Amino acid sequence: MTPSAPSTSTSPTRIFLVEDSPSLLKNLEKSLSAHPSRVEIVGVALDGESGLKAIDESGAELLLLDLELPGIDGIEVTRRLKARQPEIDILILTSFDDEKKVYEAIQAGASGYLVKRVRIERILDAIDEVRLGGTVLEPIIARRFWAYFDSIRREPPPSAPAKDQSAPEEDPYGLNEIEREILLFLGKGLSNGEVGEVMKIERRRVRWFLSGIYRKMGVNTHVEAVIKAIRAGLIEL
């Protein structure tokens, strides 16, 4: 799937909010509306059913979604919406910090996961990151998420020969040192921009390196790349 086009400073990201707490929804709407150059709120809903009915006509580019909803929960909302609008980005904002819930949300099609205690600037940065094709995970849960994701997806062939423990590990993807370092930081929960700051390179260079990583590893997302790197022993979180 082709990544959604990033928003620009002259074209704020159109977002739809789904949160079952009226007070939290009001506060979130007020806080985000204070940044009109970055986001435009095109609709809100207090439950998943209402959100699914209204979002099609809203022209939203990104859904900011709570997981804990009455009726249809956020994971099911994500699954249904991505099935009919695969181009829309979904960013989960919830009080859950359970790696199993994160896994289920990402599997359903979410592009990012933030806990509700984060600052509004972190939410805005996450929206920008997701619109640029990135994946956002809170550092507080990133390590547990990768471990859980890896354990779920690990299916060694039953007839595979026993591994020679004395043989040195080899990189099957031909990643260079910079590429491995980028994957390491992404695995720790850093965004593309944060990786650039730590490594002293421009954000667009991080994206350029990621394109090469994806090509070498035969993947399309940060999640797949980090998982493959962990399995190959290229990075250790």
| pLDDT (tens digit per residue) in 178-195 | 999 999 998 887 888 888
**Average pLDDT for 100-112:** 84
Q: What is the mean pLDDT of the chain?
A: 84
Q: Tell me the pLDDT tens digit for each residue of 9-46.
A: 468 999 999 999 999 999 999 999 999 999 999 999 99
For 40, 168, 225, the CA distances from 10, given in Å and listed in that order, are: 11, 52, 32
Query: What's residue 153's pLDDT?
Result: 56
Dist. CA 86–CA 88, nearest whole Å: 6
Specify the CATH architecture of the domain 13-136: 3-Layer(aba) Sandwich (3.40)
* Cα–Cα nearest to 17, from 5, 3, 31, 6: 31
Q: What is the CA radius of gyration of the chain?
A: 19
Same fold, 13-136 and 172-231: no
Specify the CATH architecture of the domain 172-231: Orthogonal Bundle (1.10)
pTM: 0.69
Which of these ranges, 32-46, 135-149, 193-207, has the smallest mean pLDDT? 135-149
Domain residue ranges in the chain = 13-136, 172-231
Burial class (CB in 10 A: 0-12, 13-18, 19+), 19: buried
The DSSP string of 136-159 is EE-HHHHHHHHHHHHHHH----TT
pLDDT of residue 4 exceeding 70, the answer is no
**Average pLDDT for 92-120:** 84
Q: Kindly report the backbone phi and psi dihedral angles of residue 95, in degrees, each rounded to the nearest multiple of 5, phi listed first.
A: -85, -10
**Average pLDDT for 183-208:** 88
The DSSP string of 8-70 is BTTBPEEEEEE-S-HHHHHHHHHHHHT-TTTEEEEEEESSHHHHHHHHHHHT-SEEEE-S--S
Count H helices, E strands: the chain?
A: 10, 6
Q: Which two tokens stand for residue 122?
A: 């972190």
**Average pLDDT for 118-125:** 92
Q: Which two tokens stand for residue 116?
A: 């509700």
